[in-house]
Each structure stands twice: as C-alpha cells, then as structure tokens.
Amino acid sequence: MSKPATKPVQQSVAMHYPWQQDQWQQLALQIEQQRLPHALLLTGSKYIGKYQFALSLAQRLLCHAPVGGYSCGQCKSCHLVMSGGHPDNFKIEPEEEGKAIKIDLIRQLGEFVAKTSQQGGWKVIIISPAESMNINASNALLKSLEEPGPNTLLILVCNEPSRLSATIRSRCRMVKFPVPSISKVRPWLAQVAGQNEEIEQLLHYSNGCPLLALQLLETDLLERRRKFVGLIDDLSEHRISALTVAEACQENDSPMMVDWLYSHLALMIKSGKKGVSKRLVFRYMDTLMQAKRQMQSTANPNIQLLWEELLLNWQQLFKR
C-alpha cells in the first residue's frame, strides 16, 4: 500500500496540521508585524508534520494574494510552490534517505541567497532534516545564517537538535513542536484513515505521532512492529537467541527499530513489570540512544554487531 502524502505536491494549498495551530498563529503574527526572524529551527519528533508546516509557511510568504493569514492557493506562486518549481523556494534534503547533506548543496544555497528574488518578494530555503548536514556543510551554512540578505528566510527542519552544532542553533529562533495530545490526533486520524478499529493501537505504537500512526496503517509497518514486539518478548523470556533476533532486525530500518525497542521498554516500566532493575533499564536506554546515533552516523558502523550487543544486553536485563 502507498505511504501517506506527508509532502503533497498536487494540492493547491499546503496546510499545516490541526495540532500546529499555536505555532502557526505565532509566526503569522510576526509576519504581519514584520518581525519574522531570518532563520527558524523547527524541532520535534520526526512524524508530527514539521516539513509540511515549513512548506505551508513558505507558500504563505511567497503567495501573491494571501487571505486571512493563509496562502490563497490560486495564484501562480502558490501553484509553483506546490509543484516544487518555485524559483524563490530552495529545498535541501539528503540525496538518499539516511545519508548526509553534503557541502555542495550548501554551496548552491549560498549562490541562491546571493541572488535577487525572481518574483520580487521573499526567498525561502527549507533544509530537512537539518541534522543530516555533515561538518563541512554545517560550517558552510554559517555564512548564510550570518548574512541572509533581506526578505530571506531559512527554515531548518530538525528531528534531533542535539545533533546540530550549538553555533547553528544559536543563530536560529527555535519553534518547538511537541507530540500532540491524543484528543487532537484521534479525530484527525479517524477522518483521514476512516473509523478503523486499530486506531488506538496505532496511536500506542506510534507514541502519539500522527504521521507515523498513518504510515503504520498504510504500509506493512504495523504488522512488522507486532512481529518485532513478539520477538523481543520471546527474547525477554529466553525462548529465542539474541543472534536470531539480531538477524531479523536487519530486515528493517535500524534507527526506527531502536525507537521501537525504546518505546517497548518504556511501556514495560510504566506497567510496573517486576524483576527488572530500573537502574539498569535507564542505563540501557542511554545505550540505545548511543547506538541509534552510531547507526545514523556517516562512519558506516557494523549494524549486525550493534544489534547483537544491544540484544544480548536486553536479555541480561531479564536474566532469571
């Protein structure tokens, strides 16, 4: 089944999601008062729609005839933004998912910033995910952050701000996007996915992140998640070996599966599972996050060995 359209290109208006209304109103007021900063850092979990918000904001700024604080969706500029062909909207992403943003792309950004707006208005740059920039790219970005030029907005979409240099963070105004409340997500998910009986489980497995819940529903990720949880439970009960589970983990996106393991462990703590040392559990959670950073690094770590170590240590948590 197809994945959810988290980056739509066919609609005429890029709308932010219902749970982002507070952030939108805050920035809409700054646009109206001409107090918008030159750089924004949108931070929060991966699956809550920050890229969609950035695209909506770009369309609002580039629109020729905004209505009520929103883009009109009808002018040439709006259509160009949604088709991905607006000359004053520059997007930077890794060439392949999970890979680094390299310095060549940031150099192109420098050339874009130096030019005059072709439509005579704003120029908007979206970098996503910003933490994917390697060291050289990050250093090259600093010049554009320090000398952005008039009517130029840089939007950095970031899932893990701790991976960004402190220098870059200090030159951006941070806009935080917390995981929305279930009361806000449930009606939206029911509307886009239908009254599916699995909605509660989807929200549980996605930790309340609405776009991940939708992705679980529209792909086979929900079934894979259930299978993974079953393997982990078998491992906890010593019914299966850590090496066997490590081999199975190679079939999925490893950073995502580390998140699954982290969430499963957090749920076990919340449920008050007996016989598990909380001190060791919290230490293990730190180990999980370190492993995730290694998996996401450009150093090409041995994923199989990382998983074997993680799962052997997991089994030790439940040693009888």
Write down the CATH number for the domain with range 220-317. Answer: 1.20.272
pLDDT score for 206: 85
Whether 9 has a pLDDT exceeding 70, the answer reads: no
pLDDT score for 103: 94
Whether 7 has a pLDDT exceeding 60, the answer reads: no
More confident residue, 9 or 217: 217
Q: Around Cβ 14, how many Cβ atoms within 10 Å?
A: 24
Whether 2 has a pLDDT exceeding 60, the answer reads: no
Q: Which residues of 42-80 are buried (b: 16+ CB within 10 A; e: fewer)?
A: bbbbbbbbbbbbbbbbbbbbbbeebeeebbbbebebbeb
Q: pLDDT tens across 193-211, in order? A: 776 667 878 888 888 899 9
- Label residue 1 by pLDDT band (50, 70, 90): very low
Query: What's the rounded mean pLDDT across residues 89-106?
Result: 91
Q: To the nearest whole percent, how much of the chain has pLDDT over 70?
A: 93
- Label residue 142 by pLDDT band (50, 70, 90): very high
Tokens 């952050």 sit on residue: 145
Tokens 């250093």 sit on residue: 139
Query: What's the rounded mean pLDDT across residues 90-106?
Result: 91
What residue spans define the domains of the chain?
Answer: 18-177, 220-317
pLDDT score for 186: 87
Taking Cα atoms as reference points, which of 254, 270, 235 lies closest to residue 306? 254
- The pLDDT mean for the chain works out to 87
Q: pLDDT tens across 230-274, in order? A: 999 999 888 999 999 998 888 778 888 998 899 888 887 777 666
Of how many residues is the chain composed? 320
CATH fold of 18-177: Rossmann fold (3.40.50)
pLDDT score for 296: 78
Q: Where are the alpha helices (DSSP H) in the chain?
A: 21-32, 50-62, 76-83, 103-114, 135-146, 166-170, 182-193, 199-205, 210-218, 221-236, 242-249, 254-270, 278-296, 303-317
Helix (H) or strand (E) holding 126: strand 123-127
Classified as helix, coil or strand, 193 is: helix
pLDDT score for 273: 66
What gap in Å lies between CA 255 and CA 246, rounded to an integer?
A: 13
What gap in Å lies between CA 187 and CA 260, rounded to an integer?
A: 24
Classified as helix, coil or strand, 88 is: coil
